[in-house]
DNA sequence: TTATTTTTTTAGTTTTGCCTAAAAATAATA
DNA sequence: TATTATTTTTAGGCAAAACTAAAAAAATAA
């Protein structure tokens, strides 16, 4: 697979996670930052390689093979992100671009040795699950902060939006993975939340809250095991 | 710079190390495994970017800028090779291919952090010097085993040929970096050497001996500091 | 010095991944 | 349902990096 093919495949996989419907040409075009006509070209190529199912004008879905290959690319991306943060002291908002390149280095041995070197991490710096070498993902239980209850303590376990813009914003608000968050109040009109982080209260919009994942198990128990 | 441009530039640099003359189109073609006509195309492009000096039919030399850029690519290659061997437990004959890809990841911060993580190594797994971030190389004193004297103890400090074929051969002969070698006899006809490694003697051809670097300082002193 | 061989360059193609502009199909709205 | 708007595909092109075949220049040998 070429770098471009791998990028398309990964993006189709990520788009498929949020929906059970076919993925549209335009949705892919937006993500890969190319024109729809270029996407049509690539779709045909991936369909010929039996990585996606494609019917003209009907969008695409991944085949079993496509899903597996996509997971391996995501495994590489997330392991490299973990390496950059844990070993090379990068911050979580700096790793995306570099991992976007590193994920295309083709050596199974490299990635499996890297996995071992990092001690087989299950989550990347953004709280996303790292598939194992068979493409199996052990998904951790998580829920969006926007869906959480009032007056319970939660732990931030991940972000949905991994753009450096959003991550820097979270740094400013002193929110990162592991941060304990409690919802004090929910504004009914626009679902703005007033939250408490370490005895200071802040206001966050619904857009922010629906890009933050929290654990959905009993918070006291988790605090102990943490 | 594209990956291809970087590969050409690096190879022109490495060819220049062995000669003060211009580098020929065919010499480059051999190394990059492309046809001479393809090399001519690329040469023109590199000349336009002022990375090499080029006169039709006269071969090429690197400009100051070209030398610097080539050294930075070599720095990246050798740091990644060191990472693979020191951190991911690869053997010295397995790293070339992978580093050949990794060297093209474009992030100065990445490579400088990697350098720090590895503790600013001065030599890669094959005994080659790693340029610093300014492209400065502190060349260690070394000499080919084929030029060495009889009945002195030397330490193997590097290899000239880094092909996995040669490196595996050396593994078989129990020769690696740090191995103490003594020349017992030199056959005048073809310069075959009888050498002693840890009390066992072996015969090695001149071709082997002229691809092995040894220290050329006082061996006893080095044994202490080792 | 002339003839032959080797090296290098030019000319013309191919493939990959992108593009624009226009046509065709589908979806939305009146 | 007919019209309009949006989405997707087709057609034709471009740049990068490779190729083959042929021409031109340089090097070597007779
Ligand atoms: Mn990528
Ligand atoms: Mn991530
Ligand atoms: Mn390379
Ligand atoms: Mn090396």
Residue B128 Cα, ligand 4 centroid: separation in angstroms? 6
| Per-residue pLDDT tens over the stretch B175-206 | 999 999 999 999 988 999 999 998 899 999 99
Q: What is the DSSP letter of A135?
A: S
Please give the distance, rounded to the nearest whole angstrom, from the Cα atom of residue A32 to the centre of ligand 1: 10
Q: Classify residue A127 as left (phi > 0), alpha (psi -120 to 50) or beta.
A: left
Say whether both B160 and B206 belong to one domain. yes
Q: What is the mean pLDDT of residues A146-157?
A: 93
B121 and B72 housed in the same domain: yes
Backbone angles phi, psi at B217, to 5 degrees: -100, 180
User: Does residue A217 carry a pLDDT above 80?
Assistant: no
Q: Which of A18, A47, A21, A44 is nearest to A31 (CA)?
A: A18
CB neighbourhood size of A68 (10 A): 15
Q: Examine the domain organization and report whether B72 and B57 are in the same domain.
A: no
Dihedral of CA atoms A210, A213, A217, A219 in degrees, nearest 10, equals -100
Facing B105 at nearest CB: one of A87, A102, A114: A102
Question: Which candidate in A87, A99, A109, A110 is best for mutational testing of the B interface (most B CBs within 10 A)?
Answer: A110
The arithmetic mean of pLDDT across residues A180-195, rounded, is 92
Per-residue pLDDT of chain B (226 residues; tens, 9 = 90+): 999 999 999 999 999 998 999 999 999 999 999 999 999 999 999 999 999 999 999 999 999 999 999 999 999 999 999 999 999 999 999 999 999 999 999 999 999 999 999 999 999 999 999 999 999 999 888 999 999 999 999 999 999 999 999 999 999 999 999 999 999 999 988 999 999 998 899 999 999 999 999 997 654 554 443 3
Please tell me the total count of domains within chain B.
3
User: Which domain covers residue A167, as residue numbers?
Assistant: 143-215
pLDDT, tens digit, 9 for 90 and up, residues B10-41: 999 999 998 999 999 999 999 999 999 999 99
Mean pLDDT over each residue of chain A, to the nearest integer: 93
CATH number at residue B177: 2.30.30.90
Domain boundary among A110, A135, A160: A135
Domain boundary among A35, A62, A89: A62
Q: What is the pTM of this model?
A: 0.93
Q: What is the pLDDT of residue A218?
A: 56
- Domain for residue B223, yes or no? no
Assess contact for A168 and A93: CB atoms under 8 A. yes
Give the Cβ contact number of residue B107 at 10 Å: 17
Q: In the β-sheet with B212-214, what is the strand arrangement from edge to edge?
A: B143-144, B212-214, B153-159, B180-186, B193-197, B200-204
- The three state secondary structure string of A188-222 is CCCCCEEEEECCEEEEECHHHHCCEEECCCCHHHH
- What per-residue confidence (pLDDT) applies to A226? 35
Pair B88, B55 in one domain? no
Q: Is the CB of residue B58 less than 8 Å from the CB of residue B22?
A: yes
Nucleic strand C interface residues, CB < 7 Å? A 2-5, 32-35, 37-38, 41-42, 45, 56-57; B 24-27, 36-37, 39-41, 43-44, 54, 56-59
Nucleotides of D under 7 A from a protein CB: 7-12, 16-22, 25-26
């Amino acid at each position: 697979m070429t770098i471009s093919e791998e990028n398309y495949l990964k993006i189709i996989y990520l788009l498929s996670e949020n929906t059970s419907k076919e993925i549209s040409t335009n949705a892919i075009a937006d993500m890969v930052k190319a024109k729809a006509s270029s996407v049509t070209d690539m779709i045909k190529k991936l369909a010929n390689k039996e990585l996606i199912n494609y019917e003209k004008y009907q969008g695409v879905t991944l085949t079993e093979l496509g899903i597996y290959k996509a997971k391996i690319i995501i495994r590489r991306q997330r392991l490299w992100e973990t390496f950059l943060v844990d070993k090379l002291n990068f911050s979580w908002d700096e790793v995306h671009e570099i991992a976007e390149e590193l994920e295309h280095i083709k050596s199974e041995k490299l990635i499996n040795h890297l996995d071992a070197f990092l001690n087989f991490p299950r989550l990347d710096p953004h709280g996303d699950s790292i598939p194992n070498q068979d493409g199996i993902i052990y998904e951790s239980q998580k829920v969006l902060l926007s869906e959480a209850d009032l007056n319970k303590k939660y732990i931030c376990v991940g972000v949905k939006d991994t753009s450096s813009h959003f991550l820097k914003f979270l740094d400013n608000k002193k929110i990162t993975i592991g941060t304990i968050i409690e919802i004090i109040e929910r504004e009914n009109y626009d679902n703005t939340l007033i939250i408490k982080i370490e005895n200071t209260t802040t206001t966050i919009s619904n857009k922010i809250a629906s890009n933050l994942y929290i654990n959905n198990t009993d918070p006291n128990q988790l605090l102990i095991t943490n």
